[in-house]
Amino acid sequence: MATLSLSTALSPTLALACAPLLTGIIAKTKAFFAGRKGPPLLQAYSDILKLLRKGAVYSTTTSWVFRAGPVVSLGALLACCLLMPFGALGAVLSFSGDILLFVYLLAVVRFFTVIAALDTGSPFEGMGASREVFFSALVEPVFLVCLLALSGPAQSFCFQDAIGKGAQISLVPALLAGFALVVVMLAENARLPVDDPATHLELTMIHEVMVLDHGGPDFAFITYGASLKLWLFGLIAVRAFLPLHAASVWIDVLCTSAGMVVIGIVIGTIESVTARLRLLRVPQLLAGAAALALLALLAQQGALP
């Protein structure tokens, strides 16, 4: 367990401070492809602040579960931030097997988001919730196998050894896992081609439709939580593609930050050039990611060349 020091406290601070920026970069990229000027880079911050200043309106159908949903979800995501190292900057809490805690905390997020959605009794939110649990049930094995491949020959299953300073992975498995992780990131964060957050038709959405009835501070928590989640997944994907051993911690941090900007641009580009897949085709995409993840694991074991 890493003790709390300046460098370990920096990784969650960076996540908390910069996560909405990543959303801004994606929006800018999409605006560039559409030939628009687009919202300012810091738009997400002002959105969240504005929501935090509002009151709240609750549906008469809902119970305390609906109010607990965003709170527990954001709490779990904050705990996830404490587990995640930023490149060579260590995580606040690190132990052998912390990846599992991370994955299951994300499942907590999903569980509470889904039951909050079902609490409204709205058919739309039920539909979104149903799709969410289906796709994430398929994503979860892929995600775990990717991380298993990344966590290297030490098999400590610890972020430190998988994507932190202890990472020692060869090129082929890292690349394979990296591509699978990009798919996982897109699916888990409700991005195209799995889900289109920008659509205005409730029937076609997955994540956005689940939070239709939240407003005010609750919705601020959800928006902020979503950007944190994207940040965390982006970080894992970036480090899969960047298994570097920089001489200095700060070079490493610089490279990782540059990687985060690139991943924002990549997501923006993917969102600009692809259409949303039909829902029936999504499992096929995930099966492809599963194949990549498995090959990564085999390659990491030396079964593949």
Partner 1 sequence: MDTTAAIFAVAVFVPVAASLAAILLKPWPRLQTALGAGGAITGAAAGLYCAVRALFLPAPETWNSPWSMPLGSLSMSMDALSALFLIPLFVLFGLGALYAVEYLRPVPRERNAAIPWFYYNTLGVSMALVVVAANGLLFLVAWEIMSLSSFACVLHNHEEEGSREAAWIYLIATHIGAAFLLIFFLVAGAGVGSLDFASIAHHAFSPALRGLLFAIGLAGFGSKAGFVPFHVWLPKAHPAAPSHVSALMSGIMIKMGIYGILRSITLLGHVQAWWGFSLIAIGSVSGILGVLLALGQHDLKRLLAYHSVENVGIIALGLGAGVLGVSYGIPQLAFLGFCGGLLHVVNHAFFKGLLFLGAGSVIHATGTADIDALGGVIRKMPLTAAGFLAGSVAICGLPPLNGFVSEFLVYAAAIKGIGAHNGPVFAICALSIASLALIGGLAVACFTKAFGTVFLGEPRTAAAAHGEAGPWMVIPLFVLAAFCGIIGLAFWKLVPVFAQPVCILTSLPKADIVSELSTFAPSLRGIAIGCVLFLACTGAVYLLRKGLLHKRTVGASPTWDCGYTVPGPRMQYTASSFAQPIVLFFRHVLGPVQTKHMPASTFPKGWSFRSHVPDLLLDNVYTPVFRLAGGMLSKLRWLQGGKTQAYVLYIAMTLIALLVWNFVWPR
Partner 2 sequence: MSMLIVVLVVSNFFLLGTSRLRALIRIAAFEGLVLGLLPFFTQAEGFSFHTVIIGAGGMLLKGVAIPLLLNRALRGVEAYREEKPRVGYTTSIAAGIAISVLAFWIGAAIPRSPLFPNPQVVSLALCLAAVGLFLIVARTETVSQIVGYLMLENGIYTFGISLSAQQSVLVEMGVLLDLLVGVFIMCIVIYHINRQFESINTEELEVLKE
Q: How far is the CB of 238 from partner 1 (least distance, A)?
A: 23
273 touches partner 2 (CB under 8 A): no
List 49, 137, 198, 273, residue binding partner 1 (CB under 8 A):
137
| Residues 6+ away with beta carbon under 8 Å from 123 | none
Q: Which long-range contacts (CB under 8 A, 24 or more apart) does 54-60 make?
A: 54/215, 54/216, 54/217, 55/216, 56/215, 56/216, 56/217, 56/218, 57/215, 57/216, 59/120, 59/121, 59/213
291 touches partner 2 (CB under 8 A): yes
Contact 240, 179 (CB under 8 A): no
Distance from C-alpha of 196 to C-alpha of 202, rounded to nearest angstrom:
11
Distance from C-alpha of 123 to C-alpha of 125, rounded to nearest angstrom:
6
287 touches partner 2 (CB under 8 A): yes
| Residues 6+ away with beta carbon under 8 Å from 280 | none
Q: Indicate the residue among 194 and 267 with the shorter CB distance to partner 1.
A: 194
298 touches partner 2 (CB under 8 A): yes
153's contact among partner 1, partner 2, none, with CB below 5 to 8 A by partner kind, is partner 1
List 169, 264, 299, 300, residue binding partner 2 (CB under 8 A):
299
Please choose, out of 37-45, 147-155, 225-233, 297-305, the segment that lies near partner 2 by the rule CB under 8 A: 297-305
140 touches partner 1 (CB under 8 A): yes
177 touches partner 2 (CB under 8 A): no
Q: Which of 234, 254, 231 is nearest to 244 (CA)?
A: 254
List 101, 175, 246, 255, residue binding partner 1 (CB under 8 A):
101
3-state secondary structure (DSSP) of residue 89: strand
Q: Indicate the residue among 39 and 215 with the shorter CB distance to partner 1.
A: 215
Q: How far is the CB of 100 from partner 1 (least distance, A)?
A: 5
Residues that bind partner 2 (CB under 8 A): 171-172, 176, 283-284, 287-288, 290-292, 294-295, 298-299, 303-305
